Structure 1
């Protein structure tokens, strides 16, 4: 952490996939820098590391820069959780001073499956002994039973499609197939017959603009994209992230030279192997976590479609814990940050739900000020004990509770680049500190990432002979994944199908597409989630 707070905390961050790199979170969401458009990095405020240590974890093995000494990958959520727990043991062996700090797990999308499993595994072991205080999941894929059908109702509620339209006929057929499958399926991570529901909606919304077929961006309904990408070209920063993380000097600086393949946002072979045939959906673990004192925050950008807020609200309402169902009569209060409506907040029996205004699938990407305020409030940071920084000058209000800020700040002032609030001297001091932080090369965040790769590799090597039931897969065949991930492989559409970016994969990485083969006559297309 760059600045001190009331006490020290550690957040372990996970992106989704399965098989998607947490460099997404570091480079585009909650980290301290962004690509500057000139081939380098620029420092930004409101990164979550400002008052908290943040560890960005690439997992399961094979994700991002992480690698295994074999072409065998993990299949189930409990396997992945055990690997993360082992990594944490290795991590704390190097940084023992962090093990006693309040610990949080956070991430987005398919991390909604990872995180509850990791939390449950941590509570069941005495080593590491890190005190798990809470988990925070953004736009998570957690409970297909409630989230699959929400695709239709969300689209109708938002006016994207009308029930009495001719286009709705195919949507209804897909939904009927889905409900039939859900009524005969236990709590599964993904249900093949439900995975055409979202595609049936996006197909119904295809239009022609200047001779090009256009469709809804499933990560941000305010945007459109060329068909059949429907959001796979988003966010626009991603292309520069690819370029940066494939630079030889960057790879060398990260000590990531042992992996032969180039960095890829989402490793298709990892996703294909991770089919979770025996893993119950993570929603089944939430009641136990809540009842054991783990605080849970589920937050959703209100403009996301692929993991929309309606599905999250329904899964919470359907959840029973601590003698009650859902959040009962808990009051929803307004929340504002920097003079702007940030969203709506609700709490009950260790559960917090936040609907974030004006945010997409990647909440911190769109509203970094609000996301920063949200995580600090969730961790119950005492704002009066912060040693300067952005949180001391950015005003916010939750219900009737007004956050204390430094004197002299004008409410509503643009604080995107806010410093300590102590004038030019401290601004220059912060800038110099940041430059040293970046140029050092051995900065804590970089060390953390390196340790992720080393830890996963060492653990994998030590377990090679244990034969955890994995299967051999072809070496790095590139495919695109989506969440929920279909267990059936067929013809689909990937970023590479769209002619996007030969430079996004190594020359030796062939295209391998994953589609939906659920038996529907209208087929399906992959939608990439992180």
Structure 2
């Protein structure tokens, strides 16, 4: 009995030490003290792998509110982007000061931001090897979460949700099916924003998205339909823009790709202006031309090819996407010290080209994983900002329709502050929603709608 009491006491001391070692008491640029608890530290994944996390307790009722893991995409994008530019509690100003975010998701939930996989942001491996795959990433994330629950044992019975955007459309479903085998984790559901959920469907939808938003003229569209659709009949079932082997189809779609990429359009939010000077695309497109004719003849994959796969590009630059202020802030020594970052690590960048260039994608579609999760009783939300062309709403809505779950009710609008915030379609076990006027990163472009949407989801209430 004495031994058990001592063991319990030691476990309590260890848990408390984990809390105190990682607690952040102040952040440079923030006026005034933190009025909620914040932690930053490292979680152990596979041997020698250390994933950096930031955790903020709920401003409402941390002892009762749900727990949410947030993952940004890429592969190679840091979840600290989410923390400082989307739904985190702070927003960075140009003068390196921090403002409070009135639409932070920790208004309604305890939120973990995980930099995954290793090599992203301040996550690292002892070996320096940053070759990853979809499966190894989901395994490391699961192991990291087990490490987190070991540190924060007070949260082990909280309802646990996954959320993320973009390539998290792969991260979340692959992690979700692993969590189905973890009864000790109270996993409840997932929310995926502008997700890279199905390569083929997004490949087919993006061409239509471009035409119906005025980026392709009628003559070019007529050629595309003639060469890429059966009997020249334009419909989702008869057209194949994604992996068509007809050389005429490939060439005309490539011509449309080249035009869209060259004009300096913000593909992540088509009605927004560009925040940066554009790259000269001509040499990159020319060097990829042979590869494009074989397998990269989509706007979506051409963009990925230029910025992710071209070995001639040594530094990463995204058109219209400027995060230099955040790079500078998170690389400051006082900020690193506040976040408990080892001094031997290199400066923070929002995107790791090293990870992306050594990443193995394994799942062209995530239907199997999403279906398994919903059938296991996990609630789902798939949502899209409707001005994003990179992972557009058409492809993800087709994906939702094809999962095979019965639709409940009609497609209808949902509202925030008496204004149409988007449209929603409910199915047995999950919902699909659009967010009106939002780009790729919904909590950044439509913060009020994003907070309302996630609060309704966590409360198991329909948007409409």
Q: TM-score, normalised by structure 2?
A: 0.71
Return the alpha-carbon distance in structure 2 between the equivalents of residues 153 and 338 of structure 1: 32
How far the C-alpha of 1:281 sits from its partner, in A, is 3.3
Identify which of 23, 28, 36 aligns with 2:93.
36
Listed as ranges, the matches of 1:57-206 within 5 Å are 57-126=114-183, 129-165=184-220, 178-180=242-244, 200-205=255-260
> Are the aligned partners of 1:16 and 1:110 in contact in 2 as well (CA < 8 Å)?
yes
Q: CA RMSD in A?
A: 3.0
Identify which of 311, 320, 331 aligns with 2:410.
331
How far the C-alpha of 1:268 sits from its partner, in A, is 1.1
Unpaired stretches in structure 2, ≥5 consecutive residues: 1-57, 230-238, 282-302, 304-316
Identify which of 232, 240, 244 aligns with 2:318.
232
How far the C-alpha of 1:260 sits from its partner, in A, is 2.6
Return the alpha-carbon distance in structure 1 between the equivalents of residues 371 and 243 of structure 2: 24
How far the C-alpha of 1:164 sits from its partner, in A, is 1.6
Q: Which sits farther off after the overlay, 304-313 or 67-76?
A: 67-76
Return the alpha-carbon distance in structure 1 between the equivalents of residues 252 and 342 of structure 2: 41
Map of 1:251 onto structure 2: 336
Return the alpha-carbon distance in structure 1 between the equivalents of residues 226 and 342 of structure 2: 47
SS in 1 for 2:164: strand
Unpaired stretches in structure 1, ≥5 consecutive residues: 184-193, 207-212, 383-396, 400-530
Q: Which has the higher contact order (CA 8 A, sep 6+)?
A: 1
> Are the aligned partners of 1:171 and 1:201 in contact in 2 as well (CA < 8 Å)?
no
Map of 1:285 onto structure 2: 369
How far the C-alpha of 1:75 sits from its partner, in A, is 2.9
Aligned residues: 359
Return the alpha-carbon distance in structure 1 between the equivalents of residues 130 and 250 of structure 2: 24
Aligned pair in 2 of structure 1 residues 200, 4: CA closer, same or farther (>3 Å)? Answer: farther
| 1:306 maps onto 2:396 in alignment | no
Per-residue CA deviations over 1:295-345 (Å, capped at 9, x if unaligned) read 11110001000000001111112222xxx4xx5463122111123211111
> Are the aligned partners of 1:215 and 1:224 in contact in 2 as well (CA < 8 Å)?
no
SS in 2 for 1:220: coil
Identify which of 259, 264, 268 aligns with 1:219.
268
Map of 1:186 onto structure 2: none
> Are the aligned partners of 2:407 and 2:426 in contact in 1 as well (CA < 8 Å)?
no
Aligned pair in 2 of structure 1 residues 99, 171: CA closer, same or farther (>3 Å)? Answer: farther
SS in 1 for 2:196: coil
Q: TM-score, normalised by structure 1?
A: 0.62
Map of 2:35 onto structure 1: none
Per-residue CA deviations over 1:459-517 (Å, capped at 9, x if unaligned) read xxxxxxxxxxxxxxxxxxxxxxxxxxxxxxxxxxxxxxxxxxxxxxxxxxxxxxxxxxx
> Are the aligned partners of 1:18 and 1:110 in contact in 2 as well (CA < 8 Å)?
yes
Map of 2:424 onto structure 1: 345
Map of 1:507 onto structure 2: none
Return the alpha-carbon distance in structure 1 between the equivalents of residues 401 and 172 of structure 2: 20
